[in-house]
Structure 1
Amino acid sequence: MITILRLLLFFAITMGYDAFFRNGLKMNRRLTWVFTFAFITLVLHLGSLVGEMLETVYVLSAIGCLLSLYYLWSVWKKKVKVRRLDYICIGMIFYLLLFGMTLWNSPILHYDNFTHWATIVKFFHINNALPTQYDTIISYYTYPVGSSLFIYFFTTIVGFSEGSMLVGQFFLIASCLYAMFGALRDERRVLMVAMLFASFAVFNTFNVAIRLNNLLVDFLLPVLALAAIAGCFAYRNRFWMMSLHMAVVLGLLSIVKVSGLFFVLLALVVYIACVVRLLVRKRARLKALIMMVTTILASFLPFIIWQKHVSNNFPNAASAKHAVSMADLGKILTGHVSGGVPEKIIKLFIKSVFDVTSLSTQGIIIINVILLVAFIILGIRLKHKKGVFLAWLFIDVSIVTYYISILLMYLTAMPTDEALQLAGFERYASSMVIFAFGYMVMALAWVMDECLYEQILSKRNAKSYKTLLNKRLYQYATL
């Protein structure tokens, strides 16, 4: 009973922020939850750096409760309307209950040296402060603590246990998945909504190497990037809101893990393309370029602050495990490495990439087959080549670039014995497959909507189809 009450307190706190962002700033309601969680984590990040971690939790909680009370007062005074639950909300609530109840009663599966993130969350609860150089708990100096801070916030309110840590991270993941619905042009089209819900099942399939019963972040990284990109769809004609959403969500992504910077770059590519589109269509002025540069810098600012903290407090960070050595990279590129270790790593890497029995390789093949079929049907038959082709090009370039970056990590940042085994390869590759599949579904849902006969959203109804055959095809496809 106490646990349920504390869970309700957490929702009361976060609902206050969500309501403020939704009603006060007029944000898309599908995006406000991930924005709220990212905002809370970034504020807590600053509080932890100045040594006021627990105090920051109390302040955030107090403000959240006040905002919730104000929201309830506004509803009572009929200043704002209560949004009814639609079938997307009901579906996500069912998803939360299904996984949340399972994870709450699950022990954490510890691996990868007792899981850095689970260990650090426990340290937070004992000390209510970031580790120092005198605490032996830190062995991964290059790993930021972004998601750990949100889990700390959640478990401080709800109560600390292995199950609560798992549920805390799952809430963050679920907020990202919910944000993907913001990419829909028309939420009333059940086919597109069903595609997104079905993609969650596909995510869980490719997530088998990562899983949800630990605090590793390899699933969180791609879905955070997808949540950021969903803002580009939702705020496509609202430049300032799109920039704010990108800066906050990508700011969190930058301090989840160093490899998350790659996904930050992918999201920024989409953001820059959207800004260029607005400039070409004269929906944004040249001063928007200044805001664009500011947004890009703000996306990396939390990571830069963390790196400054590490350099000031951990003098041995440069030689720690997983620290990238530019000197080693130079030796590899110039061939001045003895023992043939780089050659062995490269051969094993290429073999793993093209192994068709690998789940990640199968995922990449499936993605390209789907895009090929979509290009034939939507591009050639329905004359929407540009949208499908650009999505296809972006996905494949992203995959190739990501695999090259993984290879460089094995060559420069990972201990030789682990690199020779390609430790964690399937887990790293799964992150890219999840991102690629998620982006593909959002892009195809958008293009499919543009292919519908009635393009004026307000005129769409059960009869707004070109022919009866088209309506039957749509219905059967939805089923």
Structure 2
Amino acid sequence: MLMFLRISLWLFSFWGLQKGIQRLGKIDSQLSYFFTACSIILCLYFGAYLQALAIVAYFLLISGILLGILAFLDRKNTMLITFSVESSLLFIYFVILVSVLWKTNLVHYDNFSHWATIVKFLVTQNRLPDSMDTIISFTSYPMGSALFLYYTTKFIGYYEPILLISQAFLIFTCFYAFFACLKDRTRTLFIMILFTGIVSFNYFNIAIRMDNLLVDFLLPLIALASISGLSALRSRPIMQAIYFVATVGVLGIIKNSAIFFVILVAAYYLYLHLTKESKCSTRTHTLLHFLLPVIAAVLPSRLWSWHVSHHFTQSKHQVNLSEYQQLFQEKDASIRSTIHEKFLHTVFSFDTLSTQGIILTFALLIISYFVIRLYLKRQTHLLRWIVIEALIVFFYYLGIYAMFLFSMPTQEAIVLAGFERYASSIVFFCLGSSLFVLVRTFDDLLYEPVFAKRTYRSFASLKSKQLYQISTLLLVFCSLLLILSETNGILFTNKTYDTTIPGQFQAINADTMELNQSRYLVVSADKSSVDSYLVQSVGKYTLFSPNVEARENFIMDDKEFNALLSQYDYIVLLDDHYTFNKMIEKLIDHPLQPGVYSVTKLITK
């Protein structure tokens, strides 16, 4: 019951903030939810630098509650919550997903190496990490999405399902913003095209899925939501500039690699400026109106770079030309050739999921182009967009290729570690942006071009109306199948959770929210998980200590074994490790069950 009350209070507060922003900015609800989430992140971000992270969080929560109460008391609000076709579809989708995520725990390696660990640190410490906080390994990673998860778990409670639902909530605010790009929101077919595109992301999202906190899925969604809003606000330059600063500012602090998507959104913003300025405006004025918001939007990411350079001497994945040069020199000609051949083979293989997504995107664009030109005999700019999409894909893949050569260790580079995860980001962006273009293009081709005159009879013939209705129903059916596919995939992962390393830690109740410096030795018979540092990463996150080591090999004499144990404060036994228990029996005359044991008590026995 207490959990339900906390969730209800948080949702009411967010709704209150959204209502306040919607009224103040006079923007549609499709954009106001996403804009509110971005505003919360930026407020927390700047508050963290002022050593007031918790204070700002409480201020936002209380302000949201007060604004929500005012919205209820305002008699002008005839409809406190408006329901449309798109919002209803997304709400149903979100409820289905939440019902699954509510019983889901973190499993993916990267959750424990950084994304969940940083949220846990923020919740317990209420500040940004510095050089003394060795629990955080990837210190160059910005705080963007982690701050939103912090804001949620700070008041609802730190639970892994809440983390996942909070991330999904942020993602769905992006989805809702997509629909702002529609010219006519009464056309159900166009709504279903976008919604089917959204749920089709699940098919290409297998490498990431929505049951983890990784941001490779979030990056293109924020970029698309930003583009959709910029398009919808093109007649309101001041609000458009504010929206650009907020959304791109957040995009830049999600991850360092977000710079590619920042450039794409900025390029679109420049395009809007160049095409909407009046004839009396000079190029200087146009560039000035464009550059000022861009400078403001990149300030958050520049501020983070300053923070990293002044508080950390060295950081994983930090931009360092000397480090890049060293990693490149470690790869001789044969290794570079192997990477090159494997990269090309992967990119051009039809078995590669991201390649399938790229092919689908261009197939939709090319088929639509020929239908419009040859069948409908109308003019279209789709060919220009096909060229732009091809350039975007080319430069993004070039960036991935350079990453394997310059910034990735040799052992990971030769197997193209994480390729599918990185490549899927551009699939989401290209597919989503292409759907934006297609729905707007086909809207211009409708029988009745004037929105105000469109009714249920606004069709060229009865046959075209039947085709419209059948297409809509088919998209509804396809969307349902894709949603079930995603939820079933998560449910399947949940069934095997107890056998995973995170599941083994949970089984022995080793989790703590108190940051400590105790020394832990984690014992596991799973050699591959120990060698891949999975056990160590999960241990650091769960035990909340930077001094965690994992070991599988205990073939040693008694003296070495005793010396090894004396280096630690606690032993964490995850499973029935035969060799370890045989060695420990010499100290306490009986084997240990999985659990956490004080080394001092074991030795004194």
TM-score, normalised via structure 1 length: 0.93
Contact 1:28–1:234 (8 Å) recurs in 2: no
Structure 1 counterpart of 2:263, from 252, 255, 265: 265
1:170-218 deviation digits (Å, cap 9, x = unpaired): 1000100110011111111011000011112210110111011111111
Question: Corresponding residue for 1:450?
Answer: 444
CA gap 1:297/1:426 in 2 versus in 1, 3 angstroms: same
What CA distance in whole angstroms lies between the structure 2 residues aligned with 1:241 and 1:379? Answer: 37
Contact 1:278–1:284 (8 Å) recurs in 2: no
Mean Cα displacement is larger for which, 231-240 or 261-270?
231-240
What CA distance in whole angstroms lies between the structure 1 residues aligned with 2:205 and 2:451? Answer: 36
Question: Corresponding residue for 1:355?
Answer: 349
Question: Corresponding residue for 2:428?
Answer: 434
Structure 1 counterpart of 2:114, from 98, 113, 116: 116
What CA distance in whole angstroms lies between the structure 1 residues aligned with 2:214 and 2:263? Answer: 21
CA gap 1:79/1:250 in 2 versus in 1, 3 angstroms: same
Question: Corresponding residue for 1:42?
Answer: 42
1:288-315 deviation digits (Å, cap 9, x = unpaired): 5323111211221110000000011002
Q: Is 1:375 paired with 2:369? A: yes
Instruction: Give SS of 1:405's match.
Output: helix
What CA distance in whole angstroms lies between the structure 2 residues aligned with 1:230 and 1:263? Answer: 14
Mean Cα displacement is larger for which, 262-271 or 147-156?
262-271
What CA distance in whole angstroms lies between the structure 2 residues aligned with 1:240 and 1:234? Answer: 13
Runs of 4+ in 1 over 6 A off after TM superposition: 281-286, 330-333
* Identity %, equivalent residues: 36
Alignment of 1:378-457 (within 5 A): 378-382=372-376, 385-457=379-451
One-letter code aligned to 1:166: L
CA gap 1:315/1:336 in 2 versus in 1, 3 angstroms: closer
Question: Corresponding residue for 1:478?
Answer: 472
Mean Cα displacement is larger for which, 107-116 or 120-129?
107-116
1:394-423 deviation digits (Å, cap 9, x = unpaired): 222111111011111111222221112111
Q: Is 1:158 paired with 2:156? A: yes
Mean Cα displacement is larger for which, 6-15 or 28-37?
6-15
Question: Corresponding residue for 2:462?
Answer: 468
Instruction: Give SS of 1:71's match.
Output: helix
Question: Corresponding residue for 2:511?
Answer: none
What CA distance in whole angstroms lies between the structure 2 residues aligned with 1:280 and 1:28? Answer: 26
What CA distance in whole angstroms lies between the structure 1 residues aligned with 2:4 and 2:131? Answer: 38
Q: Is 1:69 paired with 2:76? A: no
Compute the RMSD of aligned alpha carbons: 2.2
Contact 1:239–1:284 (8 Å) recurs in 2: no
Q: Is 1:148 paired with 2:142? A: no
Question: Corresponding residue for 2:523?
Answer: none
One-letter code aligned to 2:223: A
Question: Corresponding residue for 1:224?
Answer: 222
Question: Corresponding residue for 1:345?
Answer: 339
What CA distance in whole angstroms lies between the structure 2 residues aligned with 1:155 and 1:227? Answer: 24
Contact 1:279–1:286 (8 Å) recurs in 2: no
Question: Corresponding residue for 2:176?
Answer: 178
Give 5+ residue unaligned stretches, structure 2.
474-605
Offset of residue 59 of structure 1: 1.1
Offset of residue 128 of structure 1: 1.4
Contact 2:274–2:286 (8 Å) recurs in 1: no
Question: Corresponding residue for 2:495?
Answer: none
1:240-273 deviation digits (Å, cap 9, x = unpaired): 2222112111111101101111111111111111
What CA distance in whole angstroms lies between the structure 2 residues aligned with 1:34 and 1:200? Answer: 16
Question: Corresponding residue for 2:547?
Answer: none
Mean Cα displacement is larger for which, 79-88 or 291-300?
79-88
What CA distance in whole angstroms lies between the structure 2 residues aligned with 1:14 and 1:286? Answer: 40
Question: Corresponding residue for 2:306?
Answer: 308
One-letter code aligned to 2:92: F
Alignment of 1:159-308 (within 5 A): 159-279=157-277, 287-308=285-306
Instruction: Give SS of 1:137's match.
Output: coil
Offset of residue 135 of structure 1: 1.2
Alignment of 1:100-111 (within 5 A): 100-111=98-109
What CA distance in whole angstroms lies between the structure 1 residues aligned with 2:232 and 2:376? Answer: 24
Structure 2 counterpart of 1:322, from 317, 322, 326: 317
Question: Corresponding residue for 1:9?
Answer: 9
What CA distance in whole angstroms lies between the structure 2 residues aligned with 1:313 and 1:159? Answer: 29
Offset of residue 83 of structure 1: 5.2
Mean Cα displacement is larger for which, 422-431 or 83-92?
83-92
What CA distance in whole angstroms lies between the structure 1 residues aligned with 2:46 and 2:448? Answer: 49
What CA distance in whole angstroms lies between the structure 2 residues aligned with 1:52 and 1:94? Answer: 37
What CA distance in whole angstroms lies between the structure 2 residues aligned with 1:79 and 1:188? Answer: 22
What CA distance in whole angstroms lies between the structure 1 residues aligned with 2:421 and 2:281? Answer: 41
What CA distance in whole angstroms lies between the structure 1 residues aligned with 2:188 and 2:77? Answer: 31
Offset of residue 112 of structure 1: 3.0
Offset of residue 451 of structure 1: 0.5
1:440-461 deviation digits (Å, cap 9, x = unpaired): 1111011010110111111100
Contact 1:375–1:385 (8 Å) recurs in 2: no
Offset of residue 122 of structure 1: 0.9
Contact 1:217–1:256 (8 Å) recurs in 2: yes
Q: Which has the larger radius of gyration?
A: 2
Give 5+ residue unaligned stretches, structure 1.
none
1:136-191 deviation digits (Å, cap 9, x = unpaired): 12222331111001000011121110000111111000100110011111111011
TM-score, normalised via structure 2 length: 0.75
What CA distance in whole angstroms lies between the structure 2 residues aligned with 1:376 and 1:262? Answer: 31
